[in-house]
């Protein structure tokens, strides 16, 4: 399968060839023709799947046609959760659109308003924005969204996890109803599904299965916990193991990340928390302390921890078990970096036996049940006893 069957303009095909892209990735194969056809899309796919090109190529293609409305505002609006991602998308737009005459602007938090105001006062084709800063410009009437033909929500799950729901709704309310909307997210369930219902019309769903990797370099254990107090005692023991360098601990909610890191701090651990409610600056500082080895334990939520690449992390603890096997794969993949070995330990409730089976089936890895001497669960549920 090659790019030439997807309905892309020859100039874009030439650019892709020049970039050395031999064939479309699965998400590109599915999403590009569907997006060019004009309908709304809900796409579940991961970072690294080639999703950026999957929405940018149809977006750039759209610019070959004349604008549907006069004015200077953007024809294409891409919303992303973070400044880093926005800048990455902007760079990719210039890469894929290198043969085109088009103007882009990034409208992101943590950057001075001056340049953004200048860029928004001139005609612009593509605006890539984080929701908070774009809403600011909207409120100050320094951006006009009345000409937007295509709205892309990139990593919608992360935007919601970071608390941008209100801003997104306010922004979408200012965009013409006769637009195309492409929503990309790791998952389409839960609150993402509700957002999708509000912002898309008769959307086609595209689900790209992620290829699970077996990780023989990561030793995987599960421990049954009776309750929170039991979990805390087990975590304490694990963190004091002599061969543990740095540890990443996962909790289900932002609040429990704060609470757990607070209680570990009280016990004298060098610990911090990382979650979507924190400002970009705080998060960057936290990650820098981890990279510098100044912090031994980081307590994080799934979304905030995605992509962390710190070779010193040789233990991952799922303090709260992941809801899905996909999340498990993301979490344990934060250890075993740079060719080192890692250990992943998952705390399970008494009713969670099915989770281990699901994870084993999904990953092809073996997760071994373990007990810490002196901290055995009160009643080991029968379902956890393995034959042999």
Positions that interact with ligand AMP (CB under 6 A): 21, 24-25, 28, 47-53
- Rg over alpha carbons for the chain, rounded to the nearest Å, is 23
Virtual torsion, Cα 38, 43, 48, 52, nearest 10 deg: 30
Which one, 47 or 263, has the nearer CB to ligand AMP?
Answer: 47
Which one, 8 or 271, has the nearer CB to ligand AMP?
Answer: 8
CB of 51 to ligand AMP, least distance (A): 5
CB of 377 to ligand AMP, least distance (A): 41
CB of 27 to ligand AMP, least distance (A): 8
CB of 52 to ligand AMP, least distance (A): 3
CB of 39 to ligand AMP, least distance (A): 21
Query: Which residue's structure tokens are 């089976």?
Result: 357
What φ, ψ does residue 303 adopt, rounded to 5°? -65, -40
CB of 36 to ligand AMP, least distance (A): 16
Contact 106, 86 (CB under 8 A): yes
Which one, 19 or 371, has the nearer CB to ligand AMP?
Answer: 19
Which one, 50 or 73, has the nearer CB to ligand AMP?
Answer: 50
Residue sitting closest to ligand AMP (CB): 52
Q: Give the long-range contacts of residues 374-382, CB within 8 A, separation 24 or more.
A: 375/230, 375/233, 375/234, 375/237, 377/223, 377/224, 377/225, 377/226, 377/230, 377/350, 378/226, 379/350, 380/224, 381/224, 381/350, 381/351, 381/353
Which one, 3 or 250, has the nearer CB to ligand AMP?
Answer: 3
Which one, 52 or 246, has the nearer CB to ligand AMP?
Answer: 52
CB of 38 to ligand AMP, least distance (A): 22
Which one, 10 or 114, has the nearer CB to ligand AMP?
Answer: 10
C-alpha pair distances (Å), 6 with each of 29, 93, 279: 7, 18, 40
Token digits of residue 213: 């990797």
Which one, 108 or 145, has the nearer CB to ligand AMP?
Answer: 108
Which one, 26 or 132, has the nearer CB to ligand AMP?
Answer: 26
CB of 34 to ligand AMP, least distance (A): 16
CB of 41 to ligand AMP, least distance (A): 15
Which one, 22 or 338, has the nearer CB to ligand AMP?
Answer: 22
CB of 91 to ligand AMP, least distance (A): 10
């Amino acid at each position: 399968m090659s790019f030439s069957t997807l309905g892309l303009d020859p100039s874009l095909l030439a650019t892709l060839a020049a970039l050395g892209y031999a064939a479309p990735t699965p998400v590109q194969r599915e999403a590009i023709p569907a997006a060019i056809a004009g309908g709304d899309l809900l796409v579940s796919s991961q970072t690294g799947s080639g999703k950026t090109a999957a929405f940018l190529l149809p977006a750039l293609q759209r610019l070959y046609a004349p604008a549907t409305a006069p004015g200077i505002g953007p024809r294409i609006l891409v919303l992303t959760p973070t400044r880093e991602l926005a800048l990455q998308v902007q760079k990719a737009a210039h890469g894929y659109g290198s043969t085109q005459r088009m103007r882009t602007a990034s409208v992101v938090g943590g950057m001075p308003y001056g340049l953004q105001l200048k860029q928004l006062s001139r005609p612009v084709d593509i605006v890539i924005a984080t929701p908070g800063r774009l809403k600011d410009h909207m409120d100050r009437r320094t951006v006009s969204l009345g000409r937007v033909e295509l709205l892309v929500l990139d990593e919608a799950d992360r935007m919601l996890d970071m608390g941008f729901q209100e801003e997104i709704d306010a922004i979408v309310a200012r965009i013409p109803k006769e637009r195309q909307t492409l929503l990309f997210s790791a998952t389409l369930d839960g609150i993402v599904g509700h957002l999708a219902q509000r912002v898309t019309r008769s959307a086609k769903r595209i689900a790209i299965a992620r290829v699970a990797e077996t990780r023989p370099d990561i030793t995987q254990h599960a421990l049954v916990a009776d309750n929170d107090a039991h979990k805390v005692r087990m975590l304490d023991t694990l963190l004091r193991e002599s061969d543990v360098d740095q540890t990443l601990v996962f909790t289900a909610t932002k609040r429990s990340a704060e609470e757990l890191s607070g209680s570990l701090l009280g016990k004298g651990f060098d610990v911090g928390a990382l979650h979507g409610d924190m400002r970009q600056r705080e998060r960057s500082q936290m990650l820098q302390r981890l990279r510098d080895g100044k912090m031994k334990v980081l307590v994080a939520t799934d979304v905030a921890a995605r992509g962390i690449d710190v070779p010193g992390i040789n233990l991952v603890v799922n303090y709260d078990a992941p809801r899905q096997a996909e999340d498990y794969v993301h979490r344990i993949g934060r250890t075993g970096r740079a060719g080192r070995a890692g250990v992943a330990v998952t705390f399970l409730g008494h009713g969670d036996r099915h989770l281990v089976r699901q994870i084993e089936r999904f990953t092809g890895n073996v997760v071994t049940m373990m007990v810490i001497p002196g901290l055995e669960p009160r009643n080991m549920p029968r379902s956890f006893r393995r034959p042999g």
